[in-house]
């Protein structure tokens, strides 16, 4: 049986670099860093005092003012990004079979800020002061639920959670849902809002975050010899996936074609990658095989590239293991260098960056790349974007727990 082809027809973002796809892309082409002092809480006593915060979010005409207090920030990000993506797609929902359109949006930690706030109420004022909206504020599936309710979408609706691989797993699942015929279109991606006292303290305690407090804009430096940890970001990314013939019948513009997914487990350690990136190697190979792609079909890899010592080396090793000599002909970049690590939202926003690279023929850079690491010796597109025709791109995401999710997209033919 021939696989149904799946294409991307809409995209939306909420990021530290901008709250629209156009602003997000412009900021990346300007090699801009979104890092700065934390403003969402008093971080004076925290080891890391900076992050990449999403700011100036407009929810007008998307979320009713009275509903804002009942929706955690991470789900607000998802709703705003979904609004842009659906509008961008040109889907006229009043003309669609809404039972054939689903929602699959994930988050790494969900409503952690709501959990923190309500727990404080419990300790200070007792259990009766905990909000009746606490559970729906916090749970990870609620972003999918809100999007489904707002747009009356009645197809498959759920969430996945796999730490920093969450959004890529969600998009991969949505892709396969359409491919096997269970839906004609899916609203899919990830959202995260973990810049809060517990979020920063937790990652600090495991020594995962950069502590370059004197120079936050140069703190995220993937693949650079002097990298010292990742920079926390927040936001959301949503794509509209559609079965090709469904998109063609309504005359949709097509940004790119989904080509393949590769999901594996390291089965090694709760946080550290497997030696040599062994799990990542298998995920990239499975992704290329699923998409019918050869290594030399790929020009660009949007790397997981967290700016942590172990991840960047193991990912470099994995790319070299899969692509061989071709690895040195690729452009690799980590857009986390500019917007920070969006945790469970990273995979969706980075896939959108990959699609934009295909559409514009421009590779976004890895900024703050100053001193090469002998163990990381690929072309990381240092500091400035470059023009290059991109036929196919691979987006890597790897999560705590040994979760590996790799997506491939190509120009539509």
Coil, helix or strand at residue 177 = helix
Q: Which of 169, 341, 376, 403 is catalytic?
A: 341
Q: With respect to residue 188, please indicate whether it lies within any of the assigned structural domains.
A: yes
Do both 177 and 42 map to the same domain?
Answer: yes
Pairing type for strands 185-192 and 157-158 reads unpaired
- Examine the residue annotation and report whether 119 is marked as an active-site residue of this protein: no
Do both 159 and 127 map to the same domain?
Answer: yes
Q: With respect to residue 1, please indicate whether it lies within any of the assigned structural domains.
A: no
Q: With respect to residue 40, please indicate whether it lies within any of the assigned structural domains.
A: yes
Q: With respect to residue 255, please indicate whether it lies within any of the assigned structural domains.
A: no
Report how many domains make up the chain.
2
Q: With respect to residue 35, please indicate whether it lies within any of the assigned structural domains.
A: yes
Do both 93 and 220 map to the same domain?
Answer: yes
Do both 159 and 186 map to the same domain?
Answer: yes
pLDDT for position 319: 98
Our measurement of the distance from residue 140's CA atom to the centroid of its chain's CA atoms, rounded to an integer in Å, reads: 15
Do both 218 and 129 map to the same domain?
Answer: yes
Q: Which CATH number fits the domain that encloses residue 204?
A: 3.40.47.10
Paired tokens of 359: 């559409």
- Taking the model in full, what pTM does it have? 0.98
Contact in structure between 236 and 14 (CB atoms under 8 Å): yes
pLDDT for position 1: 62
pLDDT for position 83: 98
Last residue of a domain, one of 220, 249, 278: 249
Last residue of a domain, one of 230, 249, 268: 249
Q: What is the dihedral of CA 290, 295, 300, 303, to 10 degrees?
A: 70
Q: With respect to residue 269, please indicate whether it lies within any of the assigned structural domains.
A: yes
Q: Which of 164, 196, 287, 376 is catalytic?
A: 164
User: What beta strand segments (E) does 162-267 contain?
Assistant: 185-192, 235-243, 256-265
Q: With respect to residue 2, please indicate whether it lies within any of the assigned structural domains.
A: no
Last residue of a domain, one of 221, 249, 277: 249
Q: Which of 83, 146, 246, 304 is catalytic?
A: 304
Where does 96-188 have alpha helices with state H? Answer: 112-125, 134-138, 142-151, 166-179
Do both 188 and 156 map to the same domain?
Answer: yes
pLDDT for position 195: 98
Lookup result for tokens 């009645």? 154
Do both 171 and 272 map to the same domain?
Answer: no
Do both 194 and 84 map to the same domain?
Answer: yes
Nearest to 85 by CA among 244, 240, 191: 240
Parent domain of 354? 260-410
Do both 195 and 93 map to the same domain?
Answer: yes
- Examine the residue annotation and report whether 304 is marked as an active-site residue of this protein: yes
- Examine the residue annotation and report whether 196 is marked as an active-site residue of this protein: no
Per-residue pLDDT of the chain (413 residues; tens, 9 = 90+): 678 999 999 999 999 999 999 999 999 999 999 999 999 999 999 999 999 999 999 999 999 999 999 999 999 999 999 999 999 999 999 999 999 999 999 999 999 999 999 999 999 999 999 999 999 999 999 999 999 999 999 999 999 999 999 999 999 999 999 999 999 999 999 999 999 999 999 999 999 999 999 999 999 999 999 999 999 999 999 999 999 999 999 999 999 999 999 999 999 999 999 999 999 999 999 999 999 999 999 999 999 999 999 999 999 999 999 999 999 999 999 999 999 999 999 999 999 999 999 999 999 999 999 999 999 999 999 999 999 999 999 999 999 999 999 999 999 98
Do both 228 and 336 map to the same domain?
Answer: no
């Amino acid at each position: 049986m021939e696989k149904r082809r799946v294409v991307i027809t809409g995209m939306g973002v909420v990021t530290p670099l901008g709250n629209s796809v156009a602003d997000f892309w412009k900021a990346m082409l300007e090699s801009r860093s979104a890092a700065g002092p934390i403003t969402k809480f008093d971080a004076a006593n925290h080891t890391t005092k900076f992050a990449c915060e999403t700011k100036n979010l407009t929810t007008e005409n998307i979320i009713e003012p009275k509903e804002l207090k009942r929706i955690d920030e991470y789900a607000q990000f998802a709703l705003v990004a979904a609004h842009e993506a659906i509008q961008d797609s040109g889907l006229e929902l009043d003309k669609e079979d809404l039972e054939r359109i689903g929602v699959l949006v994930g988050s790494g930690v969900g409503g952690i800020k709501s959990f923190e706030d309500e727990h404080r109420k419990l300790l200070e004022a007792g259990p009766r002061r905990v909000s009746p909206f606490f559970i729906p504020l916090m749970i990870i599936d609620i972003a999918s639920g809100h999007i489904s309710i707002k747009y009356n979408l009645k197809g498959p609706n759920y969430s996945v959670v796999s730490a920093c691989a969450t959004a890529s797993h969600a998009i991969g699942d949505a892709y396969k849902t359409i491919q096997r015929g269970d839906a004609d279109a899916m609203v899919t991606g990830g959202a995260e809002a973990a810049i809060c006292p517990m979020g920063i303290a937790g990652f600090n305690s495991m020594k995962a975050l950069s502590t370059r407090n004197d120079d936050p804009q140069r703190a995220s430096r993937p693949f650079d010899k002097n990298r010292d940890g990742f920079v926390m970001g927040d936001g959301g990314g949503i794509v509209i996936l559609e079965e090709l013939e469904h998109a063609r019948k309504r005359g949709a513009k097509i940004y790119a074609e989904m080509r393949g997914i590769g999901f594996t487990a390291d089965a090694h350690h709760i946080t550290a990658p497997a030696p040599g990136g062994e799990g990542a190697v298998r995920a990239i190979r499975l992704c290329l095989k699923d998409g019918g792609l050869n290594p030399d079909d790929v020009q660009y890899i949007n790397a997981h590239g967290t700016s942590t010592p172990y991840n960047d080396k193991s990912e470099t090793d994995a790319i070299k293991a899969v692509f061989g000599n071709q690895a040195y002909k690729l452009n690799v970049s980590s857009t986390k260098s500019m917007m920070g690590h969006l945790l469970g939202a990273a995979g969706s926003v980075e896939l959108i960056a990959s699609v934009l690279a295909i559409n514009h023929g421009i590779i976004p850079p890895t900024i703050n790349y100053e001193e090469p690491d002998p163990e990381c010796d690929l072309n990381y597109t240092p500091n400035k974007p470059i023009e290059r025709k991109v036929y196919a791109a691979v987006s890597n995401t790897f999560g705590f727990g040994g979760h590996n999710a790799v997506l491939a997209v190509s120009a539509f033919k």
